[in-house]
Amino acid sequence: MVITQRRKLGRSGLEVSPISFGGNVFGWTIDENSSFEILDCFIAAGGNFIDTADVYSKWVRGNIGGESETILGKWLKQRGHRDQVVIATKVGNDMGVKGKGLSRKHIQQAVEDSLQRLQTDYIDLYQSHIDDESTPLEETLETTQN
C-alpha cells in the first residue's frame, strides 16, 4: 500500500496522511529496532502523521513513561526525517513524580520534557490526553511556553 493523499489538519496549515501511526506500541509491545523498521516502512509508504504521548508506555513494569517519545526521537535524529513528519503528542496523564493534569505549570514542564525526548525543537500538534477538573479550562487554553 502506498499513501499518496494528504488532508489539511483543520486550519493549522499542516497536511497529513489519512492514516496516523499510533506510537503507543514503542517500548511496550515492540522494541526500538522493530519500531525503527516499522517507522521506516510507514514513511516509505507515504505516511507522515505519527501520534504518541508522554505517558506511553508507563503502564509497563519497569517503564516510567516517555518511552515512545524517546524511541521516536532517536529515530527522528538517526534518520533525519523531522521535516517530513507531523508529530502529535499529548499531555495530562499521571507521570508519577513528574505530575499530571492540565495546569499551566505542568504543561510547560511536560512540553519541555517531550521536546527533549523527541529530540526536536517543536511539536506539530500538542493535545490534552484527559480532562482535568481541578484546572480551569481558561488556564489550560492560555498556557504558553516561556
Q: How far is CA 79 from the centre of its chain?
A: 17
**CA–CA separation, 53 and 100 (whole Å):** 13
Q: Is 122 a catalytic residue?
A: no
Question: Of the listed 56, 58, 69, 70, which one is catalytic?
Answer: 56
Angle between helices 67-79 and 32-44 (to 10 degrees): 60
Query: CA nearest 123: which of 52, 22, 66, 30?
Result: 52
Q: Which residues are catalytic?
A: 56
